[in-house]
Structure 1
Amino acid sequence: MIRVRVTAAKGSTPREAGAWMIVTPDATQGTIGGGQLEYMAIDRARQMLARGEAEARMEIPLGPEIGQCCGGRVTLMLDRHAPDSPNQPRALIFGAGHVGRALARALEPLPLDATLIDSRAGELALASGPTLLTPLPEAQIREAAPGTVVVIVTHDHALDFLLAAEALARSDLPYVGMIGSATKRAQFSRFAAARGIDPAPLICPIGAGFSRDKRPELIAAFTAAEVMAHLTHFSARTSACNS
């Protein structure tokens, strides 16, 4: 496969520096902005695959000559890449019921590596994508890398509280969300306070900032948007701290 990366973006461009896509002989993953820019990059990447080239560079002005009116200029680097995608944040979805499965589907096309976790083999069997069957889901939170997203949508309120408390004991998770209601959040706040845990970072109900609709697919869509907003903020804050 060929990895295509935007290494410089000047003026008005469809994607920023750092955007990427993967090109194989018969498929693509990700996007550098679509349109003629992307078609040109895909064609060049497939030329590289056919010719055995290891690396190439493209300077593309986004003007009328290629049928795009952005007016900016993009530099692309293309290189052969091992058969995996660039490092992406992980998302741990606890609970493989209707909402959990819908959320896993909603996150699938996004730049996240999502895993659906449950202790019920039957529910996981209904899911597509990566799953994990475990009787100790809280261990996954303890072992998660910094920057991991945690979404809690299990069938058991007591388990929800246990997982949320485990996640809030850490300060390096950009998003900790739990399905519920204002009443459930109040109950968890009392549970957390009794254990010396600050409940403020918990997002509960998930997706409620966009809508209170209770259909699983819409909860999933709004939660996916919420997760990406938090990840963007977390990434910006981390970059600022490291600079």
Structure 2
Amino acid sequence: MNWLSAVQHLHDTATPGVLVTVAAVRGHAPREAGAKMVVSLETSWDSVGGGNLEATATERARAMLTVSATAPELLTLRLTDAASNEHGRQCCGGEVTLLLEPLQTVRPHVAIFGVGHVGLELGLILSRLPLNLHLVDSRAAQLTPERLAPLQGGAARTEIHHSPIPEMTLHELPPGSHILILTHDHAEDAALCDAALRRPELGFIGLIGSAVKWIRFQDQLRREGHTDADLARITTPIGLPGIVGKTPAVIAVGVAAQLVQRLEADGAATLHPLSSASQSAQHRPAQHQTPQRQP
């Protein structure tokens, strides 16, 4: 597998990796400037020259992966008898500078519960980012291909969940998922808040609504056994403070900006696609169904 295919493989499998590029060469070296390899914690693909040069680069790349580094690094190595040769001697006589770039291959999971006016506008914005985007609604009419067509073709991988009991879909999301609760029904919102608070491993939990709504929800959630510390995990009203517009598009912009702040603070992603080749999100979105709520 060459380095480009390896990048796509890591992207498809959400596996962390580092792209190593020969950035500059002085004198003789085993590979030319522009040569690349890809390193994961378990293996590597392609080559920047073998020997001590490549072994040192691999070791450094894996050290970066171990600490979840996000910033690129330069590594300069001399290929002479006098240089440090921990992994063997290379006597080409030159000097090689390598660029080590952590690949943003692990996509955050973001779930929008409620694909009404605000949810649709929010989905349109987030579909342009390299996320695993889950669109969840109890109403099948909100999830038709025609209605969601504007969300296709972006960087996000979209999964559509028709879920008459939305909290069941919430339980299926992976740890670290970010939850945006925007449904048309306060009872659904309350059930989702309760379910989200029972999963301490979730990320951001945002709830749309007024101060009066939140006061009522707090009383209800406390009766369900949640503490004040639990309730503090929910951000409401959702969206950046200071934005007063109430149109769906304006609300969506504020919510998306607040979520991006959280993602960047977590170091989860730079929110830039790897390349046009890696935008495999243009596949047809996955469809999911959950059982009907019993009367």
TM-score by length of structure 2 reads: 0.52
Aligned: 1:107 with 2:136: no
Q: Which residue of 2 is the match for residue 180 of structure 1?
A: 209
Match of 2:236 in 1: 204
- Contact 1:91–1:113, Cα closer than 8 Å, also in 2: yes
SS of the equivalent of 1:184 reads helix
Distance 1:159 1:225 in 2: 25
For the 8 Å contact 1:55–1:78, the answer to whether it is kept is no
Q: 1:147 Cα deviation (Å)?
A: 0.8
Which residue of structure 1 lines up, in the alignment, with residue 141 of structure 2?
A: 122
Select the residue among 213, 216, 226 that pairs with 2:258: 226
Partner deviation per Cα, 1:4-27 (whole Å, 9 max, x = no partner): 98xxxxxxxxxxxx898xxxxxxx
Q: 1:210 to 1:145 in 2, by over 3 A?
A: farther
Q: Any idea what SS the aligned residue of 1:86 has? A: coil
Shift of 1:60: 11
Which residue does the alignment assign to 1:32? Answer: none
- Name the aligned partner's letter for residue 184 of structure 1: K
How far 1:76 sits from its partner (Å)? Answer: 5.1
Paired positions, count: 178
Letter aligned with residue 75 of structure 1: L
Aligned residue identity for 1:191: Q
Which of 221, 232, 235 in structure 2 is aligned with 1:192?
221
Match of 2:54 in 1: none
Q: Contact 2:204/2:262 (CA < 8 Å) preserved in 1?
A: yes
Aligned to 2:4: 2
Q: Cα distance, 1:3 vs. partner? A: 6.9
Higher mean alpha-carbon deviation, 132-141 vs 206-215, is at 206-215
SS of structure 2 residue aligned to 1:223: helix
Give distance in 2, aligned partners of 1:163 and 1:135: 12
Taking the TM superposition and a 5 Å limit, the aligned residue runs for 1:1-243 are 2=4, 55=46, 75=99, 86-125=105-144, 126-128=147-149, 129=151, 130=158, 131-197=160-226, 198-235=230-267
Distance 2:236 2:73 in 1: 45
Local SS of the residue matching 1:185: helix
Tell me if structure 1 keeps the 8 A contact 2:111–2:179.
Answer: yes
Q: What's the offset of the Cα at 1:229?
A: 1.8
Cα distance, 1:174–1:19 mapped onto 2, change above 3 Å: farther
Counterpart residue identity of residue 214, structure 1: K
Instruction: Report if the CA contact (8 A) 1:4-1:76 is conserved.
Output: no
Aligned partners of 2:240 and 2:258 also within 8 Å = no
Unaligned runs of 5+ in 1: 6-17, 21-43, 46-53, 62-72, 80-84, 237-243
Deviations 1:151-176 (A, max 9, x none): 01110001001001110122112210
**Cα distance in 2 between the residues matched to 1:60 and 1:167:** 38
Higher relative contact order (CA 8 A, sep 6+): 2
**Contact 1:56/1:77 (CA < 8 Å) preserved in 2?**
no
1:2 maps to a residue whose letter is L
Greater Rg over alpha carbons, structure:
2
> Can you list the C-alpha shifts for 1:129-152, whole angstroms capped at 9, x where unaligned?
432112121112112211101001
What secondary structure sits across from 2:110 in the alignment?
strand
Share of identical aligned residues, percent?
35
Q: Identify the range of structure 1 (227-236 vs 107-116) with the bigger mean alpha-carbon deviation.
A: 227-236
**Which residue number in structure 2 is paired with residue 35 of structure 1?**
none
Aligned residue type for 1:91: V
* Change over 3 Å in CA distance of 1:4–1:226 after alignment to 2: farther
SS in 1 for 2:111: strand
2 CA distance for matches of 1:232 and 1:77?
17
Q: Displacement of 1:218 after TM fit?
A: 1.7
CA RMSD, aligned part only?
3.4
| Cα distance between partner residues in 2 of 1:201 and 1:4 | 38
